[in-house]
Amino acid sequence: MRVHLTGATGFVGSNLRYVLTERHDADVLAPGHAELDLTDRTLVRRRLLATRPDAVVHAAIWNDFDGLTRDRRRAWAAYVEATRNVVDAANAVEAQVVLVSTDWVFDGTQGPAAEDEPPNPINAYGFLKAASELVVLERAARGTVARIAGVQGVHRTRPELPRRQDAGFGYLLASLFDALSAGERFSVWEGEGLNALATPTLATDAAELIWRALERELTGILHCCGGEHADRLTLARRAAAAFELDVDLLDAGPPPAGSIAPGGVPRDTRLDAQATAAALAVELPDLDTMLARLRAELHEHCGSAA
């Protein structure tokens, strides 16, 4: 299968590229941002007409939370117009298009939110992702929305993490792993203004689910997440135990002053993925299974002894 992948140099995109090429032998075409800016409608169309992929997986975003409210025109172009460009070009070559989306389309009171729960975003990022979802659902001839959540894993194009612990779940366990492996204490953020509950997902597991959706040409909304919910501290403790690191190095406390962006994030973004699991004929991994796989990936990535 030939797949055009956007955002392949990013965290999620690099894991998608890895899974599609290394495990499934897909022919992945992944021009970088400098080569193909997705806000350029003509270029996107021309590229897809020239390469005629069977599917497009759209994982690119402008990842700048402050920027999304500082420059709303740029944000709209980078999310909604870029998605429209991708969808229209995919339609022109009759390709399935999969938008990688997020649990943050929900407001934080809806968890566990099923695939058909109406989105109700509370910040600019959630709004732009929900608008992008609508573009795919309403405009793509064969459109799929793959919501991922609390994404953990290794970044396959960067040796260092681009971010540390933040108000979301992303990068939480990789940050914890780095600290505890070095014998340093790690404080798990607790308190107001945080995404406190989610359905953690290994990036490579999400990529596997997206691959299955491509193979089955499944359209509509999918929750490509793990099979067990967790709060931040429970996840951190279970991870430290699974990584055989010192759980006593874990603390819980408020985030450092100024580290929570204004605007708020959804508190409880647990996803119900029963319909997705049935449609893809898979059993979603529980936390321990997910953490064992993450441990293997972290050790492989860091080259450190298990």
| Site residues (vs ligand NAP, CB under 6 A) | 6-7, 9-13, 32-33, 37-39, 59-63, 78, 82, 100, 102, 129, 148-149, 151, 170
Rounded least distance, CB 305 to ligand NAP, Å: 28
Give dist(CA 239, CA 165) in Å, integer: 15
Comparing CB distances to ligand NAP, the nearer of 32 and 247 is: 32
Comparing CB distances to ligand NAP, the nearer of 26 and 145 is: 145
First to last CA, the chain: 35
Rounded least distance, CB 290 to ligand NAP, Å: 14
Give dist(CA 224, CA 146) in Å, integer: 6
Element (H, E) at 90: helix 82-92
Rounded least distance, CB 123 to ligand NAP, Å: 12
> Is residue 92 a contact partner of residue 51, using CB atoms and an 8 Å limit?
no
At residue 305, the 3 state secondary structure works out as: coil
Rounded least distance, CB 148 to ligand NAP, Å: 5
Quickly count: other Cβ atoms within 10 Å of residue 216's Cβ: 11
> Is residue 100 a contact partner of residue 47, using CB atoms and an 8 Å limit?
no
- Retrieve residue 112's tokens: 């566990």
Comparing CB distances to ligand NAP, the nearer of 193 and 247 is: 193
Rounded least distance, CB 181 to ligand NAP, Å: 21
Reference 228, options 174, 289, 172, 167; nearest CA is 289
Comparing CB distances to ligand NAP, the nearer of 247 and 264 is: 264
Reference 41, options 95, 77, 94; nearest CA is 77
Rounded least distance, CB 103 to ligand NAP, Å: 7
Comparing CB distances to ligand NAP, the nearer of 247 and 293 is: 293
Rounded least distance, CB 80 to ligand NAP, Å: 12
What does the chain come to in residues?
306
Comparing CB distances to ligand NAP, the nearer of 284 and 306 is: 284
Report DSSP state, residue 255: P
Rounded least distance, CB 165 to ligand NAP, Å: 12
* Chain position whose Cβ is nearest to ligand NAP: 10
Residue with tokens 């779940």: 169
Give dist(CA 292, CA 26) in Å, integer: 26
Reference 199, options 137, 281, 110, 66; nearest CA is 110
Comparing CB distances to ligand NAP, the nearer of 189 and 248 is: 189
> Is residue 58 a contact partner of residue 102, using CB atoms and an 8 Å limit?
no
Comparing CB distances to ligand NAP, the nearer of 178 and 246 is: 178
> Is residue 199 a contact partner of residue 151, using CB atoms and an 8 Å limit?
no
